[in-house]
Structure 1
């Protein structure tokens, strides 16, 4: 049984924190190998005998797992034997290399990866991953079913580095990095929305590799919708953020903008309000929220009327902003004991 330093959990989020630094030197190598296997699934991992440091931070948001790894060099291999023995590990990993170098082999591809590039690999097929120098990565671990891609589509995008110089990479990297960096603080619905942006862009990438014309395709519309959602998120604090302003910024009609949001089951105005409410809710749950007025938080996120904000907040969450802030402050001292990303129990403490 792996024992690891405590993380923290609240609500439907599961957080796990592994740190080799806190384990006696003689146990670090085995500890680190098991921590990696628990996070990404069963792999053969080669790590230095004298491994000194390494951290893995994971946050589970619904069906998506956000992971940050900082470590010394390591080499991982997933063989057909491990795949055959795996239980419910049908995952696809989207990984951003932040620091260090890497080499990935899958589906007859063997490519070097530079810092700032993303790559995708499928845990249902053999893979080799070499990280020959100290590194940092940010990853999303997605069940195959979430992607909605068949095996042939996934095989078109595996082990192929995607840089910010490409249109897809330029959007995909910020979304992935934002989700991994903020997963622990953001409400689960927000994280799932950002994760969906990543999924949409991967779908478009698979379409492009297939040679499909995405200009007027559903995938092309998803890319535009992804851009628009990112624009809205970047401008939530602007009280002048309206459907007209959003449409003007993207050179589309308001009518077409509303058509894009039909797939979200909500109007553009309601989407903007929902995102503002989510950010207000997150801000009010922070430790320093007691020093900020509710009206101040509302105005910071684009609400022009504090009374209107209080009404829509109560309608959305079933309690007033003040009650939510007080409950969040009280709840920080009590945390449940969650399970790990693959269903294993994790010792947790505040």
Structure 2
């Protein structure tokens, strides 16, 4: 039996993530067979990052180092073969169609004894409306298609993994929103009612209140607090527990909606400044600077690249994880 070999990977979750061992997604992979092949492809739909690993051998995967800063959580879906995910003393033994949640802020292990396909989806916490502690009961918990919500999410992820390159840029953004809602539904069904009420309801109510008024001026903690009969300090604490702030949440959602419009060929007649103004950015320079910081490109550059992709009837080329030399 071959002794296998070990590799270090980083940069497989996120278009602009630092591909070094300091990256949040840096992992250590031990491939059981010296001749075993590990293939991967990465892509992004809106705010959600994906990586599909296809291994012609058994593997053991651990984080290079856990990160205390929690920006999101991962959904691990077994597409083919059998995969085990372990964290915090629990083990989820997954068969095709099964999935589980796990976090990067604590040690975890992903293992398989033989050939397998495993899809990883990283979701930002702020898009789901969860406090970090609300995920503890679901980590390394096997979720099968026994519930309607889980079945819908698993089948959608499987389809996206097979056909994500065929999705137009505009469709990708819509699917990102839909996937966030599907994850919310799965979490709501998997947790007791009292946990749902405690961890989901208030933040979701506030986030949806903001979404309904996303083009309004002065969406501040004070306005959110007044609308929900709580103190501004309490509002700031709730958003902080979800890894964001009211101002940051508003800006990121406006930028995401503006990015969707910039990639929509039906809105090509609108200028960039018109789209920016429609989403609450009165100063073009502020919009351009914020867009570049969030997406790594200027609004004009992003629009041109997406127009070129649509004209070529192709989406972004998937990339794989970066092998990091120790």
Please, what TM-score do these two structures have when normalized by structure 2? 0.54
1:123-272 alignment to 2 at 5 Å? 123-212=104-193
Give, in angstroms, the shift of residue 174 of structure 1: 1.9
Q: Secondary structure at the match of 1:39?
A: coil
Give, in angstroms, the shift of residue 62 of structure 1: 3.3
CA distance in 2, matches of 1:182, 1:338: 12
The correspondence for 2:90, drawn from 109, 118, 121, is 109
Give, in angstroms, the shift of residue 185 of structure 1: 2.8
Distance 1:181 1:89, change over 3 A: farther
Contact 1:64 1:140 in 2 (8 A): yes
Higher relative contact order (CA closer than 8 Å, sequence separation 6+): 2
Q: Secondary structure at the match of 2:182?
A: helix
Give, in angstroms, the shift of residue 58 of structure 1: 0.9
Contact 1:119 1:159 in 2 (8 A): yes
CA distance in 2, matches of 1:55, 1:163: 26
Higher mean alpha-carbon deviation, 40-49 vs 333-342, is at: 333-342
Contact 2:41 2:318 in 1 (8 A): no
Structure 2 residue 11 is the aligned partner of structure 1 residue 38: yes
CA distance in 2, matches of 1:145, 1:201: 15
Give, in angstroms, the shift of residue 336 of structure 1: 10
Distance 1:336 1:58, change over 3 A: closer
Q: Secondary structure at the match of 2:121?
A: strand
Q: Which has the larger radius of gyration?
A: 1
CA distance in 2, matches of 1:318, 1:162: 45
Q: Secondary structure at the match of 2:8?
A: helix
Q: Which residue of 1 aligns with 2:66?
A: 83
Aligned alpha-carbon RMSD (Å): 4.5
Unaligned runs of 5+ in 1: 1-27, 221-261, 266-277, 283-312, 345-350
Unaligned runs of 5+ in 2: 14-24, 202-210, 215-259, 271-303
Give, in angstroms, the shift of residue 44 of structure 1: 2.8
Distance 1:331 1:52, change over 3 A: farther
Please, what TM-score do these two structures have when normalized by structure 1? 0.50
Q: Which residue of 2 aligns with 1:301?
A: none
